[in-house]
Chain A
Amino acid sequence: MIPRLLTRLLTRLLSFWLPLTWLLLVTLCAVTAGWLPIPAPDLMDYDHQNALPGTAVILTENTAVAEARNKVYWLGTDSMGRDMLSRLITGARVSLAVGVTAPLIGLVIGGLLGMIAGYFRGWTESIIVGCMDVILAFPGLVLLLAVGFCFGTNLWTLIPSLGFLSVPSFCRVSRAATLQLAGREFVLAAKMIGNSNSGILGREILPNVAIPLCVYGLIVMALMVVVEGVLSFLGLSVPPPTPSWGGMIAGGREVLSEAPHVCLIPATVLFLTVLSLNVLGDTLRGWTRSL
């Protein structure tokens, strides 16, 4: 009895509370990055390049970096002597900005299209599904690279194109959910009373489609964070002075043999974030399926 309870508690902890805590922590850090007592992410300390995590700096003389006196590099510094913790926190902003907004665009557009396709059926559905198939036929990364090349690489081109790429998968989820709902009694009843189609879609179908869509959104978020990581690793995301996780990993790769932590710490943070999103998405999907 007690061991079973313990395993259940442990499972709950690992599959829900732990990933949630990590994600909240990352979000909190990213949001409050400006107010945290950390050195600026582009402040270079040439006396402490590739410093190990936990290196304490005690400045005896008055130097240019005087205001950052007696600090500790909790996660070390990178090959240019910039504080890793500060760069990670600032980099989280990029990852989260992409990871949250891009799926949101896809969720709204794809969700709407999927609902329309699943509710009206007929030629509307054929056209929407056909368009989605064409989008799916493109290898996403190549399209992203092409867009980045043509319109410049920054968040304002990256987020819309990532959002665009995520439309088909959201559309598929919402269409499948709508197809199931459209034949249910409460939808038929709403039709009988004489509600308009838009009324039924908004009041009856939307609330029921929203939950699976949002849960699926978490998994898409994980994917988006990875794609942003790949692009910034290749140097094709946000331009250099702004730190990003992928960019930090790329920078750390050059000193992988002397100072592995410069590369492995951001890699771990990226991994933990993606894992948390995946685990949370999976857990919530399991819970909401029984609803």
Chain B
Amino acid sequence: MKFLRRKLLHFFLTVLIVSAITFAMIDLLPGDAANVFTGPEASVETVAAIRHEMGLDAPVIVRYFRWTFRAVNGDLGVSMITQEPVWDALVARLPVTLELLLFAQLMALSLAIPAALICAKKPGGTADRILTTMGFASLSIPNFVMAILLVFFFVLHLGWLPATSFTPLSEGPAANVRSLLLPGLSIALVEWVILFRVLRSDLVATLGEDFILVARSKGLSSTQVLFRHALRPSSLNLLTVAGLQMGHLIGGVLVVETIFALPGIGRLLVTAIYSRDIFMIQGCALWITLGYVSINLLVDVLYAVLDPRIRLERANV
């Protein structure tokens, strides 16, 4: 498992750098946390006392290890605005963000797969051209613009959906899905294009293979060939891209959560930035980055498990 070892090493290296940067982010702040904590009017003595109390007068390395040790044990400090422990706030917000991510990705997949199948059936045909152009256009719409367009159309114009009220899953799945529909859609309508492109080109390539010719000559209809013989071998790249995209989606989630006032980690981060709540920002940044890095690791490993060729190839690089 040379491949796995390399990947794990890479993962830990990245985590180390991530934690160092997140730590430095707060530590290098002009005027340290003690100043922010006591406010601008505090006397020099008070600041010094607080600084000593918070352990800010220790050397950098000591402070870094102290911070890491506490972070690993689930202590990321306390929010300076709400006095809520940062760790608890993150744990409370995580399900919303995860749900939105999965929901958006599912919607993107359910748009991309049929579209790719239609296109691959007749590459270069009218349907293919229209869908490819549409994909190009929707890729050029930023997430936040898409969200506003959806709100304008579905909420203000048609009045079909509520704009900003999040219902947790515990209050019934239907209401939950209703409140996640627009946020999920505003991410999915942009992100499906990437999945669609990958699947389309893979499908077109697969359809040129010999075993497809055999299936055709057996007399199977083209729909049957598409679904039963071409889709599975072509979906390998799709899976990887879908996994990698989960990391990429985090950026979109951040904005969309803010627009639709969903109580997720992205919104937590943005409100923390507005109120300059430094420990909260630090905690959010750490969690999001770690999540991103872990997803990347997971995708790499999954890819290797699914495709033995990669395992060998990448180990030799």
Contacts and interface: CB of A to CB of B under 8 A. Distances in A.
A288 interface: no
Chain B contact residues: over half helix, strand or loop, or mixed? helix
B269 A249 contact: no
A137 B293 contact: yes
B149 interface: yes
Interface stretch (B11-19, B204-212, B215-223): B11-19
Contacts of B92: none
A269 to B, nearest CB: 11
Bin chain B's interface residue count.
35 or more
Nearest to A222: B140
Interface in A88-113: none
Interface string B133-144: 000110111111
B213 to A, nearest CB: 29
B23 to A, nearest CB: 12
Contacts of A241: none
Contact of A226 (B14, B22, B28, B142): B142
A257 B156 contact: yes
A249 B142 CA distance: 12
A145 B288 CA distance: 12
Interface residues of A, number: 38
Contacts of B50: none
Given A139-B247, A139-B289, A256 B151 contact: yes
Report which residue of B136, B251, B259 has the largest number of chain A beta carbons within 10 angstroms of its beta carbon. Answer: B251
B139 A142 contact: no
**Overall SS of chain A's interface:** helix
A206 to B, nearest CB: 26
Considering residues A149, A229, A270, which has the most beta carbons from chain B within 10 angstroms of its beta carbon? A149
A278 interface: yes
A260 B152 contact: yes
Contacts of B14: 133-134, 137
A92 to B, nearest CB: 16
B292 interface: yes
A162 to B, nearest CB: 13
A271 B139 CA distance: 10
A77 B137 CA distance: 28
22 contacts: A137-B293, A137-B296, A139-B292, A140-B251, A142-B250, A142-B254, A146-B25, A149-B281, A150-B29, A233-B255, A234-B255, A236-B273, A246-B144, A249-B144, A253-B259, A256-B156, A267-B148, A267-B149, A274-B142, A278-B136, A278-B140, A282-B136
Interface string A276-291: 0011001000000000
